[in-house]
Structures are given as structure tokens and as C-alpha cells.
């Protein structure tokens, strides 16, 4: 049986146009890539360096050097006089990487990046950096800069009704890190499983499971989390009482009181999700204010500024404070002082609250326009509670949910299936982002896709 081979002119055609300079590097890269992607299969015989040089119209030296380098790296096996052939084990030199989700899927709760306050933030960075002391640039207090903890404590007292002093604030790299720290400490204490809202955030569920935490479902409805409906007994509960994800409802007063009664000797983790973005009235106060000894309060600037900033705060109950500070120190030695200094100036100058007022105006109008466009075609949930950056659209079947998601993905819109928010089989629907303007034609297309 004759050995398969490639002619010099076919190899030149495979490699494409020859550059005027750098023939050796061009030939090396071209052959290596062709071996990796299978265009030059294992066992294929290549023409001699003399034949390749003649076909390319170049000196033989650069061609020989390129082929020798390919042989040294395992792409080729050299043969005297008759050229080289692709190594039988060429698969081993491929640089293919496993499919890794380097970016999370688009979240329906992502803010509009066009509304980021660039001018005021850059000014805050400049002023805040100038105010840093030389000692601030070393390995400092893992809790964060004192000035930022003072600003955050004041902001939480004035806008969220929290019971907090600066010495009880820990600056963290977003709510995700806060959950990681809390889960680590709770697991070390043997606190038992963590109860999560059902339906709730798949991201929080997956994150806690990846840390080895046991999570259990706690039923959640139009009044929020129902701790009495839980089949098992959690040692802690994660809840979004200001604006539940995904249902979009605030936690009812009677459910709040019952949860805090239950939490005696346990822990409530309060994610103050979407708390600033309410469009029809005053913000709802935090659970932490009613029982600061039982609630760990988490918040961040992800919705008011940007998720990529990775800045947030944790206000734990006193009995967990020292352990959480130690966990923060062991995790990263503290959050970037330059970012902290900028945020402290941004809050202290009043720019943070000006940004909140601006977002309430813009997002409130966009949300109302979207609700109006959707109501003619869908059952839109929680439209009586105007808050946050997402809406829930109920659909009749999982097939309709899949068709709607395919349409939204093709349109590049931020959405998530409602069924994926449940621990088990969930109601079909779409959690649709409302931060960006959505054209009426898109709504019509979505209705057609889901029909």
C-alpha cells in the first residue's frame, strides 16, 4: 500500500500567500496549525525541503530550519532524502483547550453599561487616590479602608435603615465573595445545610455547591420565602427580601417576622438584591435592622455602578465577625485600596445617591415601556411591584420556554429560563432583563417564537 503524500504545490496552496519576509516563521506556524486542526493528518508524507523551497521560490535554508523545528517539537518525523511525514501521535501536541465558560451567561439583572457615570467616577478615583496615605499601600486591615467603612455604614443607615457601625463593616469583592466567606465559616462550625429560595438564583445555588456546602430548597411564592414550608431543617437561610429573584416580589411582613423568629440560634443571610432600584415608592428596609444578631447583610455596587467593579460589603452578626474577618484576610489580604478610596469619595461626595436617582428615572421608564408592550401578549408577573432590572414572563409549556429562549439568544437579549431557577421541576417561563430598551418588534417576535 502506497503512503499518502501531499505535493509541493498543494502544500503551498494549503498554507496560503507567502509573505515577503519571515518565511521560516510563516511556514512553521502554517504547518503546525494544519497538523493541529487535522488538515495534515497523521502519517501524511510531506515533500522534501528542496521541493518546498522550489515551489515557494525561496532559498532552501529557511524551509529546512522550519521543518527541523517542527520535527523537534513532535509535529513531524524526518526522513532522509524523502522529506518528512506527520507524526502518528500528532494529537498529543494539539493545543485545544476544554470548553470552559470564561464568562457567565448574560444575567437578566445586568445593568446598562452605557449608564455608568464615567466622569464622576474618574474624578472620584483621582481625588480618592490623592487622599491615600503611604501606610494604606501596604497590607492593611482586611476589613477595608476606614474611610470607606464609615461611608458604607452611613449609607446603609440612611438609605436601608440598617443597624451598623463602621467597625462592623467588612469590604468584600462583591456579594459572591461574601457568600464564599459565610459558607466557609458556617461549614467550619458545622452549622448544617443552607436553605435557598425555591425558585431562586441558580448562580448562588451552583456557587455554594461548588464550595462543598449542602443546600436545600425553601419554598417561595408571592409573599417571599416561607420558612415553615421547608421539608428539612437548615442551619442558615439565604434570602433576597427587598426584591426576590426571580419572582420580583418583596418579602411580606408576616414572613419576615416568622423568619427572624425561626433564626434564633441560626443565621439569615440577607442579599440586599436590587434594593436601591424601586420605582414606585420608598425602598423597603433591611431585615438586618430587626435582628442584627441573627442576620448577615450583603450588598454591592453591581447594579448602581457595574458588576465588573467587584466591590461590596458584608455586615455580619457579632458572633461571626472575627471569623469572617480572618476568612477575608486568608482569602485575599483585602480588596484593592485604590478602588476602595474611589468608592469612598464617590459616596461621600453625594455622587452615589445622584446615580441612584438617575437610574430610578431611566430604568423605571424602560421597565414600564416593556411591561406595557408585553401585557398584550403575555402573563407578566410582578408588574404591580415596580423594581429591579428583570421581569418574569409566564409561558404555557417548557417547549414554549425553549423556543422563547432560542429567540432571545439569537437577538442577543439577556434572559434566563424560569424553570432553571427551581430545584426540581419548575414552572415554565422567561426571566427577561429590563435594563436595556427593547423594541416592540422584538416583543412581537418573542410572542411568535413562544406561540
Strand ranges across the sheet with 45-46: 45-46, 83-86, 76-79
From CA 176, how far away is CA 203, in angstroms rounded?
Answer: 9
Written as nine digits, the cell of 99 is: 470548553
Q: What does the radius of gyration of the chain's CA atoms come to, in whole angstroms?
A: 29
Verify cis geometry, omega within 30 degrees of 0, for the bond prior to 326: no
Spatial separation of the C-alpha atoms in residues 354 and 285, rounded to whole Å: 20
pLDDT tens digits in sequence order for the chain, 451 residues long: 356 788 888 888 888 878 877 888 888 888 888 888 888 888 888 888 888 888 888 888 888 888 888 887 788 887 655 568 888 764 444 444 445 555 666 689 999 999 999 999 999 999 999 999 999 999 999 999 999 999 999 999 999 999 999 999 999 999 999 999 999 999 999 999 999 999 999 999 999 999 999 999 999 999 999 999 998 999 999 999 999 999 999 999 999 999 999 999 999 999 999 999 999 877 789 999 999 999 999 999 999 999 999 999 999 999 999 999 999 999 999 999 999 999 999 999 999 999 999 999 999 999 999 998 888 888 776 545 689 999 999 999 999 999 999 999 888 888 999 999 999 988 999 999 999 998 888 898 999 988 8
* Distance of alpha carbon 205 from alpha carbon 211, whole angstroms: 10
Is residue 142 a contact partner of residue 325, using CB atoms and an 8 Å limit? Answer: yes
pLDDT at 95: 47
Span between the terminal Cα atoms of the chain, in Å: 59
Q: How many CB atoms lie within 10 A of CB 322?
A: 11
CA 437, CA 294: separation in Å to the nearest integer? 40
Q: What's the confidence (pLDDT) of residue 36?
A: 85
Grid coordinates 421597565 are at which residue?
A: 367
pLDDT at 320: 97
Looking at residue 94, what is its pLDDT? 44
pTM for the full model?
0.78
pLDDT of 221: 96
330 backbone dihedrals φ, ψ, rounded to 5°: -70, -25
pLDDT at 101: 52
Domains for the chain: give ranges and CATH numbers: 8-93 (1.10.10.10), 113-353 (3.40.640.10), 358-450 (3.90.1150.10)
The predicted structure's pLDDT at residue 266: 96
- For 425, counting Cβ atoms within 10 Å of its Cβ (0-12 exposed, 13-18 middle, 19+ buried), the class is exposed
Residue recorded with cell 432553571 = 420
Amino acid at each position: 500500500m502506497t503512503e499518502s503524500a501531499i505535493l509541493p504545490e498543494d502544500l503551498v496552496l494549503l498554507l496560503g500567500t507567502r509573505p515577503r519576509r519571515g518565511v521560516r516563521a510563516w511556514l512553521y506556524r502554517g504547518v503546525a496549525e494544519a497538523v493541529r486542526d487535522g488538515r495534515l493528518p497523521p502519517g501524511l508524507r510531506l515533500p522534501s525541503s528542496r521541493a518546498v523551497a522550489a515551489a515557494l521560490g525561496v532559498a532552501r535554508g529557511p524551509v529546512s530550519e522550519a521543518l527541523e523545528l517542527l520535527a523537534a517539537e513532535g509535529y513531524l518525523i524526518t526522513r532522509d532524502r524523502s522529506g518528512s511525514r506527520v507524526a502518528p501521535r500528532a494529537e498529543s501536541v494539539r493545543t485545544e483547550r476544554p470548553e470552559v465558560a470564561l464568562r457567565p451567561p448574560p444575567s437578566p439583572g445586568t445593568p446598562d453599561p452605557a449608564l455608568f457615570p464615567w466622569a464622576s467616577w474618574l474624578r472620584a478615583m483621582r481625588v480618592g487616590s490623592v487622599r491615600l496615605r503611604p501606610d494604606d499601600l501596604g497590607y492593611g486591615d482586611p476589613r477595608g479602608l476606614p474611610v470607606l467603612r464609615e461611608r458604607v455604614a452611613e449609607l446603609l443607615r440612611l438609605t436601608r435603615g440598617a443597624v451598623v457601625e463602621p467597625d462592623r463593616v467588612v469590604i468584600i469583592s462583591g456579594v459572591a465573595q461574601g457568600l464564599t466567606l459565610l459558607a466557609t465559616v458556617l461549614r467550619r462550625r458545622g452549622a448544617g445545610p443552607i436553605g435557598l429560595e425555591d425558585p431562586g438564583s441558580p448562580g448562588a445555588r451552583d456557587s455554594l455547591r461548588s464550595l462543598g456546602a449542602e443546600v436545600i430548597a425553601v419554598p417561595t411564592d408571592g409573599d417571599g420565602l416561607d420558612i415553615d414550608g421547608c421539608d428539612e431543617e437548615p442551619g442558615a437561610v439565604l434570602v433576597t427580601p427587598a426584591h426576590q429573584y426571580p419572582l420580583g416580589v418583596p418579602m411580606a411582613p408576616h414572613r419576615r417576622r416568622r423568619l427572624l423568629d425561626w433564626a434564633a440560634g441560626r443565621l439569615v443571610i440577607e442579599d440586599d438584591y436590587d434594593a436601591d432600584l424601586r420605582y414606585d415608592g420608598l425602598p423597603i428596609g433591611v431585615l438586618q435592622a430587626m435582628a442584627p444578631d441573627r442576620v448577615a447583610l450583603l450588598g454591592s455596587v453591581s447594579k448602581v455602578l457595574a458588576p465588573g467593579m467587584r466591590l461590596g460589603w458584608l455586615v455580619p452578626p457579632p458572633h461571626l465577625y472575627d471569623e469572617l474577618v480572618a476568612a477575608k484576610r486568608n482569602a485575599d489580604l483585602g480588596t484593592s485600596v485604590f478602588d476602595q478610596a474611589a468608592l469612598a469619595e464617590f459616596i461621600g461626595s453625594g455622587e452615589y445617591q445622584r446615580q441612584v436617582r438617575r437610574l430610578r428615572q431611566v430604568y423605571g421608564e424602560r421597565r414600564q415601556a416593556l411591561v406595557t408592550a408585553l401585557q398584550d401578549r403575555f402573563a407578566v408577573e410582578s408588574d404591580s411591584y415596580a423594581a429591579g432590572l428583570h421581569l418574569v414572563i409566564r409561558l404555557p409549556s417548557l417547549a414554549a420556554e425553549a423556543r422563547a429562549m432560542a429567540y432571545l439568544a439569537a437577538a442577543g437579549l439577556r434572559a434566563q429560563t424560569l424553570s432553571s431557577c427551581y430545584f426540581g421541576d419548575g414552572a415554565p417561563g422567561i426571566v427577561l432583563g429590563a435594563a436595556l430598551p427593547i423594541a416592540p418588534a422584538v416583543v412581537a417576535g418573542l410572542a411568535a417564537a413562544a406561540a
